[in-house]
Amino acid sequence: MMLTTPLKSCALFVSVLMLAACTADGGLKKVNRAAKERNPAPCPNVLVLQEAGDYIEFAGEQKIQNVAYTGEITSVETSCRYYDDLPIEAGVKVSFALGKGPAAESNTKNMQYFVAVTRSNRELIAKETFDLPVNFKRGDIITVSDVVDKITIPRKDAGTSGTNFEIMVGFVLTKEQAIYNRSGKSLKFPDLK
């Protein structure tokens, strides 16, 4: 199919404008390059902090009949993107199994969890807390997932890989809950009613 001269001119003009936009805006060029570039190394390690991976709330003495709410982080999935000397852009999907025990006073509960970034085996870089509103109306045990899709990890230079960092997740716990988790006690049971 042949284009007429005015139509050819219009198509050429639009093409030139698009090309100018791509070269004039370095951001667009970087986005296009990022889509083509592979990560130079793996993503940061992701882990559940052992003493914060379980949540148990008692209403009174630490007995099974006094369990109000429970939680467990069942999995964490991560993705990341970086190249050149740009920061690592990462995201995590955290999956939870949550339970309502015999001492629960409500069908709703607001739990909290955190996502932290550290240098591997070193200092904390950043930590943020997220609400996890739970509705038990459909049963005493539920599973939910939450996504944190914007984690920016600064890098010193292009030689700094994702393996220099760790992403940690865990429940926000009271002092008593942390002590209970550290004690090694466990209340893992399939049906808590």
pLDDT at residue 83, as a whole number: 85
- pLDDT tens readout for residues 76-103: 999 999 888 889 999 999 999 999 999 9
> How many CA atoms, within 13 angstroms, populate the side-chain half-sphere of residue 160?
13
Overall pTM surpassing 0.95 (yes/no): no
Token readout for 92 is 């995590």
Query: Per-residue pLDDT for 15 more than 60?
Result: no
Contact criterion met (CB below 8 Å) for 76 and 93: yes
pLDDT at residue 184, as a whole number: 78
Query: Per-residue pLDDT for 170 more than 90?
Result: yes
SS (H, E, C) 65-94: HHEEEEEEEEEEEEEEECCCCCCEEEEEEE
pLDDT at residue 40, as a whole number: 66
pLDDT at residue 121, as a whole number: 74
Contact criterion met (CB below 8 Å) for 69 and 100: yes
Q: For CATH 2.60.40, list the domain ranges present in the chain.
A: 45-182
**CATH architecture of the domain formed by 45-182:** Sandwich (2.60)
Residues above pLDDT 90, as percent of the chain: 54
pLDDT at residue 24, as a whole number: 43
Label residues 33-53 b or e (16+ Cβ within 10 Å = b): eeeeeeeeeebbebebeebbb
pLDDT at residue 41, as a whole number: 74
Encoded amino acid at 116, one letter: A
pLDDT at residue 94, as a whole number: 97
pLDDT at residue 183, as a whole number: 87
Contact criterion met (CB below 8 Å) for 82 and 44: no
- pLDDT tens readout for residues 34-73: 555 666 678 899 999 989 999 999 999 988 899 999 999 9
- Among 112-116, 118-122, 149-153, which range has the highest average pLDDT? 112-116
